[in-house]
Amino acid sequence: MYQRNALLKLNPLEAGIVTIILLAGISFSIIKLQLVPHIPVILAIFFLLIYGMIKKVRVADLETGMMEGAKSGLGAVLIFFFIGMLISSWMASGTIPTFIYIAFELINGKWFYAIAFVVTSIIGLSIGSSLTTAATIGAAFMGVAAALGLSPEITAGAIVSGAFFGDKMSPLSDTTTLASSSVGVDLFEHIKNMLWTTIPAFIISFIIFLLLSPPETGASFERAAAVKEELLRLNLVHWYSLIPFLLLAVLALKKVSAVVTLGSGTVAGLIVSFFLNGKGEWASLAAILFSGYKAETNVEEVSSLISRGGIESMMFSVSLVLLALSMGGLLFKLGILPALLSGIGNGLEKASLLISSAAASAIGVNFLLGEQYLSIVLTGNTFEPHFKKLGLHRKNLSRVLEDSGTVVNPLVPWGVCGVFLSGVLGVETVDYAIFAVFCLVSPVLTILAGLTGFSITKDGKTAA
């Protein structure tokens, strides 16, 4: 259906050359020149506009392509705003500070990264949202790591790995539902089939985080104790502060829409915060939904940890997402992405080559468009006929979509997830990406499964 929107019919070679130029320019600007991602993406848009005009495409059509691309991200933008409000209300209600306090009580510094990975995996699996997990429990672990003097990059990598394990395997996850439904596979059959690659990826990640964890961090516990004392002084640690999180978990389990779930969690956070503050502060509590929560403290670690959230804090992410999706709209309109996908899909007569190509496609769309949903839908639509032609069960394809689509987006600096996670965790995407072990290992394992035939299902039986 996307091909019908293309104004040009390009050959895969030309589309590939344009793509290489774009990715090289963006990567060089972000990694080497250390520019904020917005600038390289804007320059890429200018490049595509000039390319379109050289191809004699009307400027009005190019503008339409940009707007169509941006419109596809309005749902994500709305979620960003609601998560921004959720974070600020949960700071004021003590929800996240209470989690931080509990984490300090339970963690002695040993195996810290492995514990962060396992806990975020469990929470992500329970609520089905990687972004919500990272923004709440993940923020708590980042605070603990800062107080203990541990690496923020490795901590963020462990959080992202755990959050996306949960997102990938949860029946409550939108990407899990999308991957199965887009190719017509039963949801739970899809989840069961993912165990073949996901369990090894989980084990590998857990072992690596165990090895990375420092054997002793006792020297930093004085800072941790100071943070705990300050949180108590600020009156932000209470058992009832966890009520907003429990409400969010229940609504997620009942498959209530994300907007309603996040909105309810925000309102619950505000209600709890009313009890923690005097009536004179009630008016200012509503204002934090936009500007974020500001802690009145002289303890630097506490201030940097809990002074966050609000709609305003999401503006960096929102602007980059809209720019990246506008670039994606141009790639569609100019026929670049359809040509690449059609070129990849031709001449695939071996299962190993087909699975590797589907994985490469999902990864490529993530880097081109910065959007995991499109990486799932486009790759699924393109490769489903080829899987059917070779007699491969469609659940093999749905697994590839998750292994190489869902979990790759947080590794893309201009991707929707990469931008969001960088903002809420306070670590640049390029810095934590190398430590997001689960996200790195999953695509490798799905390609290895295709090469070896292990766990590949064909006509109702395993071809291993």
Residues 66, 106: Cα–Cα separation, whole Å: 49
pLDDT in tens, 13-26: 888 899 888 878 88
Is there a contact between 101 and 237 (Cβ–Cβ < 8 Å)?
yes
Specify whether 161 is located in the same domain as 302.
yes
Residues 133 and 175 in one domain: yes
**417 and 392 part of one domain:** yes
CB atoms within 10 A of CB 246: 12
Question: How distant, in Å, are the alpha carbons of 200, 364, 453 from that of 449?
Answer: 12, 20, 6
Q: What is the pLDDT of residue 2?
A: 44
Same domain, yes or no: 135 and 275: yes
Q: What is the pLDDT of residues 282-292, one digit of tens each?
A: 667 778 889 88
% of the chain surpassing 70 pLDDT: 89
Q: How many C-beta atoms lie closer than 10 Å to residue 1's C-beta?
A: 7
| Whether pLDDT at 1 is above 50 | no
Q: Per-residue pLDDT averaged across 405-413, rounded?
A: 91
Both 146 and 223 in one domain: the answer is yes
pLDDT tens column, 64-94? 999 988 887 777 678 778 878 888 898 889 8
Report the pLDDT averaged over residues 393-412.
91
Between 309 and 463, the higher pLDDT residue: 309
Instruction: Give the pLDDT confidence score for residue 267 in this predicted structure.
Output: 92
Q: Which of residues 134 and 346 earns the better pLDDT score?
A: 134
Judgement on whether residues 442 and 404 belong to the same structural domain of the protein = yes
Q: How far apart are CA 389 and CA 365, in angstroms?
A: 23
What confidence tier does 108 reach under pLDDT thresholds 50, 70, 90? low
Same domain for 337 and 286, yes or no, is no
Q: Assess whether 83 and 130 both reside in one domain.
A: yes
Residue 462's pLDDT band, with cuts at 50, 70 and 90, is: very low
Q: What is the pLDDT of residues 178-199, one digit of tens each?
A: 788 778 787 778 888 999 999 9
Q: Each residue of 11-57: pLDDT tens digit?
A: 888 888 998 888 788 878 876 777 777 888 899 999 999 999 999 99
Position 279 scores a pLDDT of 62
Between 37 and 59, the higher pLDDT residue: 59
Percentage with pLDDT > 90 across the chain: 25
Last residue of a domain, one of 309, 324, 359: 309
Q: Which tokens is 12 given?
A: 């895969």
Question: Residues 417, 356: one domain?
Answer: yes
Q: What is the pLDDT of residue 463?
A: 43
Q: Concatenated DSSP letters for 402-445?
A: IIIIITTGGG-TTSHHHHHHHHHHSS-HHHHGGG-HHHHHHHHH
Q: What is the average pLDDT value for the chain, to the nearest integer?
A: 83
- Do 51 and 124 belong together in one domain? no
Q: How confident is the model at residue 344 (pLDDT cuts 50, 70, 90)?
A: low
Lowest mean pLDDT among 93-102, 222-231, 241-250: 222-231
Split at pLDDT 50, 70, 90, the class of 235 is confident
**Nearest-angstrom CA–CA distance, 238 and 96:** 11
Q: Can you give the residue range of the structural domain that contains 167?
A: 77-309
Whether residues 128 and 229 share a domain: the answer is: yes
**Residue of higher predicted confidence among 440 and 215:** 440
Give one DSSP letter per residue of 350-372, joined into a string.
SHHHHHHHHHHHHHHHHHHH--H
Total number of domains in the chain = 2
Grade residue 351 by pLDDT with cuts at 50, 70 and 90.
confident
pLDDT at 385: 77
Residues linked to residue 457 through DSSP beta bridges, in sequence order: 462
Which residue type does 209 have?
F
pLDDT of 156 over the 90 cut: yes
Last residue in a domain, options 309, 338, 361: 309
Higher-confidence residue of 132 and 207: namely: 207
Same domain, 387 and 413: yes
Domain boundary among 261, 281, 309: 309
Split at pLDDT 50, 70, 90, the class of 348 is: low
Higher pLDDT, 4 or 385: 385
* pLDDT score at 31: 67
